[in-house]
């Protein structure tokens, strides 16, 4: 809901539990008023009328109060907007007008030929913010930096704590928390993609627990380089500024008549602790971000860990038969099916089936998979090229490179310049042909290296490729989705290197991590769940010992229950699994299908974090709930502690479908449910239904 004061200078957006208000001051300065618990328009107006705090010499009256600090004038905070023309640098803007479209508020300012519009929209309790720049003047304007938003937190008695999700390859999205101190904490990526090192999310709280207290969260929807800066200013006020690009050294150049829209930087306030905040983020993404989120994702098989590059039509057929027999619904052939791709040294860029491996193309295998009752999926990595490929031999200038400098290879590959229209057109033709050549239902879209030589010889403003690569990637995905509406897409980047709200609005699920060790995964999934829902979090059951990373031995039970917390997949070498293992796997897959609506569409409660002993999550949907519990290691013969459940009706009774026991809701909520797990790496699934 959007309300506007009669004088047209105070605006308030409200969701079910929260409000966000801003005000145009007497000097035309746009001030942040309120972000937090729900208040009325009259409250916001009263806030706007309060006298200004006293300022000391050497401090700015604007710092810490402005909705979107621009560069220039009496401001010393980090500017969200930094532009220059041949003559001037910075912005001196005046308010032009506001308008609305539905519940979107647009505040339009002008500085000479540059029109700057701030957009605000409340969806559930999430405020979406972005900025558009329109160069109406005759001169080009260089945009050095255009952040999507600056968020201002209220003054609090207690010190702020910063939560973030950090990582690296095979160790993504691990939650870490630390007190915020004066100065700035900056996270981001200067790699050209979202990166494994940080999910573009931060949360700030003073004293929140999992289920209680205020939590402020901000998440960016951009799949290229990005930056979020959290600043504690001299008066202790906290501002969070974020947007596309890592540096302030030039994002793009706007010629006369050109426009630019920043990505969305979304903010959420919750007083339900970290659990309440993540449930609100999940509900928002399911309602507004993720395509077709009301449709549950199928159980998939992926061939990567089973067969690596060594694949053939016959061998994939064998795996497909076994996958179908254990209940898999989508069979995905990973890397190695195209061009001369028999290792990571060659073939990327040539998206036609390898004639030795698939003499009649992909159709016979796809048809076979369909006949087994499964959907068929395929792996691609369109933004990359191996120097040893037909594509590179024909177009060595289609990659990102600096004239006369070496072309840095990672995994023997270079990055195609998707800012170029001819490159995008080539990829469109290749992928459109591929998707038309066989009944393909699913595309796993990978991205396996960072930008290093981001040059574009001949282009007057080469640094635009950082932004235009991402826009090119989005445009290609959008075009393919429109032309092939039945095809689902997975975002992968060597595991979780491209997970953000931007890619999530164009893909159906994401590959969470190349780390498929079921124990490591618990921590990765715990972090991931702070912002994104299980509906997109792909998780595979692979072989034991874990071949990929650490050699850890774990039971099928532990591996399945770990992966059942997300979109279940199987990635082990089924050709090597015994009949007993296949039969057990079948039972787990069938159990997953029964709890799938709760996992993928229910409310998630993190009952205990994975910190060594017992950890557990609970999903609630309607009258049903399911608990997934994992015991890392039992010590001193102690029984696992009872798990206090959440989200139940205290006056109702619940029957456990596993044990047949009937539990009173109040007892489950206040005294908990006992789980029978013991030893090392044990796990349990307990389903409860309201009677
Ligand atoms: C990295 C991905 O994360 C893996 O799952 C697999 O698809 C490989 N790339 C294939 O090269």
624-642 pLDDT, tens digit each = 999 999 999 999 999 999 9
- Please report where in the chains the tokens 């998630």 appear, as a residue: 604
Q: Out of 511, 513, 521, 570, give the residue to mutate to test ligand 1, the one with the largest number of ligand atoms within 8 Å of its CB.
A: 511
pLDDT tens figures, 521-578: 999 999 999 999 999 999 999 999 998 899 999 999 999 999 999 999 999 999 999 9
- Give the number of the atom of ligand 1 that is nearest the alpha carbon of residue 511: 3
Q: Which two tokens stand for residue 206?
A: 């003073």
Which has the closest alpha carbon to 52: 63, 42, 43? 63
State if residue 495 touches ligand 1 by the CB under 6 angstroms criterion: yes
Q: CB of 15 within 8 A of CB of 268?
A: no
Identify the band that residue 314 occupies on the pLDDT scale cut at 50, 70 and 90.
very high
Identify the band that residue 57 occupies on the pLDDT scale cut at 50, 70 and 90.
confident
State if residue 511 touches ligand 1 by the CB under 6 angstroms criterion: yes
User: What is the 3-state secondary structure of 293-358?
Assistant: CCCCCCCEEECHHHHCCCCCHHHHHHHHHHHHHCCCCEEEECCCCECCCCCCCECCCCCCECCCCC
Task: Quote the percentage of the chain above a pLDDT of 90.
Answer: 97
- Give the number of the atom of ligand 1 that is nearest the alpha carbon of residue 514: 3
Identify the band that residue 249 occupies on the pLDDT scale cut at 50, 70 and 90.
confident
Identify the band that residue 56 occupies on the pLDDT scale cut at 50, 70 and 90.
confident
pLDDT tens figures, 188-214: 999 999 999 999 999 999 999 999 999
Residue 510 has pLDDT above 90, yes or no: yes
Known catalytic residue at 446: yes
pTM exceeds 0.75 for this model: yes
Atom 3 in ligand 1: residue holding the nearest Cα: 494
Q: CB of 631 within 8 A of CB of 679?
A: yes
3-class secondary structure, 121:
strand
pLDDT tens figures, 443-455: 999 999 999 999 9
- Please report where in the chains the tokens 């497909």 appear, as a residue: 320
Q: How far is the CA of 335 from the centre of ligand 1 (A)?
A: 7
Residue 401 has pLDDT above 90, yes or no: yes
Atom 10 in ligand 1: residue holding the nearest Cα: 335
Which has the closest alpha carbon to 360: 298, 438, 287, 464? 438
Q: How far is the CA of 297 from the centre of ligand 1 (A)?
A: 20
Mean pLDDT (the chain, rounded): 97
Q: Which two tokens stand for residue 658?
A: 């596993």
Query: CA torsion 516→562→504→423, rounded to 10°?
Result: 20
CB atoms within 10 A of CB 593: 15
Which has the closest alpha carbon to 30: 133, 138, 120? 120
3-class secondary structure, 189:
strand
Known catalytic residue at 514: yes
Average pLDDT for 413-442: 98
Average pLDDT for 420-434: 98
pLDDT at 446: 98
Q: How far is the CA of 513 from the centre of ligand 1 (A)?
A: 10
| Catalytic residue, candidates 63, 147, 388, 446 | 446
Domains of the chain with bracketed CATH: 67-288 (2.70.98.60), 302-601 (3.20.20.70), 608-690 (2.60.40.1180)
Q: Which two tokens stand for residue 578?
A: 């015994």
pLDDT tens figures, 11-46: 999 999 999 999 999 999 999 999 999 999 999 999
| Residue 130 burial (10 A CB sphere; 0-12, 13-18, 19+) | buried
Residue 54 has pLDDT above 90, yes or no: no
- Give the number of the atom of ligand 1 that is nearest the alpha carbon of residue 302: 5
């Amino acid at each position: 809901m959007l309300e506007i004061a009669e004088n047209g200078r105070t605006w308030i957006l409200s969701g079910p539990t929260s409000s966000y208000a801003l005000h145009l001051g007497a000097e035309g300065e746009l001030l942040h008023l309120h972000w937090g618990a729900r208040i009325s328009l009259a409250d916001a107006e009263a806030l706007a009328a309060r006298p200004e705090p006293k300022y000391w010499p050497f401090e700015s009256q604007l710092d810490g109060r402005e909705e979107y600090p621009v560069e220039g004038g009496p401001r010393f905070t980090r500017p969200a907007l930094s532009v220059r023309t041949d003559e001037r640098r910075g912005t001196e803007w005046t308010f032009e007008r506001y308008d609305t479209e539905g519940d979107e508020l647009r505040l339009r300012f002008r500085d000479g030929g540059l029109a700057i519009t701030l957009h605000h929209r409340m969806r559930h309790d999430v405020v979406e913010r972005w900025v558009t720049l329109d160069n109406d003047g005759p001169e080009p304007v260089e945009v050095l930096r255009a952040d999507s938003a600056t968020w201002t937190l209220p003054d609090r008695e207690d010190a702020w704590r910063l939560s973030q999700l950090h990582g690296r390859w095979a160790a993504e999205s691990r939650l870490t928390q630390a007190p915020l101190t004066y100065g700035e904490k900056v996270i981001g990526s200067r790699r050209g993609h979202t990166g494994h090192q940080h999910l573009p999310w931060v949360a700030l709280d003073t004293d929140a627990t999992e289920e209680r207290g205020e939590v402020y969260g901000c998440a960016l929807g951009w799949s290229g380089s990005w930056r979020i800066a959290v600043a504690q200013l001299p008066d202790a006020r906290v501002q969070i500024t974020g947007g596309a690009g890592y540096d302030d050294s030039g994002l793009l150049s706007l010629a006369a008549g050109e426009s630019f829209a920043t990505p969305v930087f979304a903010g959420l306030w919750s007083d339900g602790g970290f659990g309440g905040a993540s449930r609100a983020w999940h509900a928002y993404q399911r309602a507004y971000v993720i395509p077709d989120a009301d449709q549950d994702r199928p159980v998939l098989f992926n061939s990567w860990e089973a067969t690596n590059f060594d694949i053939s039509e016959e061998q994939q057929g064998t795996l497909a038969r076994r996958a179908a027999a254990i209940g898999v619904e989508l069979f995905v052939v990973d890397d190695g099916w195209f061009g001369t791709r028999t290792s990571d040294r060659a073939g990327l860029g040539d998206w036609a089936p390898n004639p030795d491996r698939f003499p009649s193309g992909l159709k016979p295998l796809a048809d076979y998979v369909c006949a087994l009752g499964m959907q068929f999926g395929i792996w691609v990595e369109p933004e990359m090229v191996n120097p040893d490929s037909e594509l590179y031999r024909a177009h060595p200038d289609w990659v990102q490179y600096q004239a006369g400098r070496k072309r840095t290879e990672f995994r023997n590959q270079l990055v195609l310049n998707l800012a170029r229209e001819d490159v995008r057109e080539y990829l469109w033709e290749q992928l459109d042909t591929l998707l038309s050549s066989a009944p393909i239902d699913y595309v796993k879209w990978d991205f396996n290296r960072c930008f290093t030589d981001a040059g574009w010889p001949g282009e007057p403003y080469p640094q635009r490729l950082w932004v235009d690569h991402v826009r090119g990637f989005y445009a290609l995905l959008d075009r393919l989705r429109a032309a092939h509406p039945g095809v689902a897409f997975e975002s992968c980047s060597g595991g979780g290197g491209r997970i953000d709200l931007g890619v999530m609005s164009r893909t159906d699920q994401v590959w969470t991590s190349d780390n498929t060790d079921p124990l490591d995964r618990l921590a990765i999934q715990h972090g991931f769940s702070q912002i994104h829902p299980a509906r997109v979090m792909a998780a595979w059951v692979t072989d034991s010992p874990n071949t990929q990373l650490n050699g850890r031995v774990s039971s099928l039970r532990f591996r399945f229950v770990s992966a059942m917390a997300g979109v279940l997949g199987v990635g082990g070498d089924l050709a090597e699994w015994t009949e007993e293992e296949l039969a057990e796997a079948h039972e787990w897959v069938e159990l997953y299908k029964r709890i799938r609506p709760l996992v993928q569409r229910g409310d998630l409660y993190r009952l205990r974090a994975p910190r060594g002993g017992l950890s557990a999550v609970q999903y609630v949907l309607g009258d049903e709930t399911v608990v997934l519990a994992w015991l890392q290691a039992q010590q001193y013969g102690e029984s696992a502690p009872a798990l206090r459940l959440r989200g139940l009706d205290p006056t109702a009774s619940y029957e456990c479908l596993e044990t047949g026991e009937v539990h009173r809701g109040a007892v489950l909520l206040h005294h908990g449910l006992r789980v029978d797990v013991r030893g090392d790496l044990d796990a349990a699934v307990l389903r409860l239904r309201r009677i």
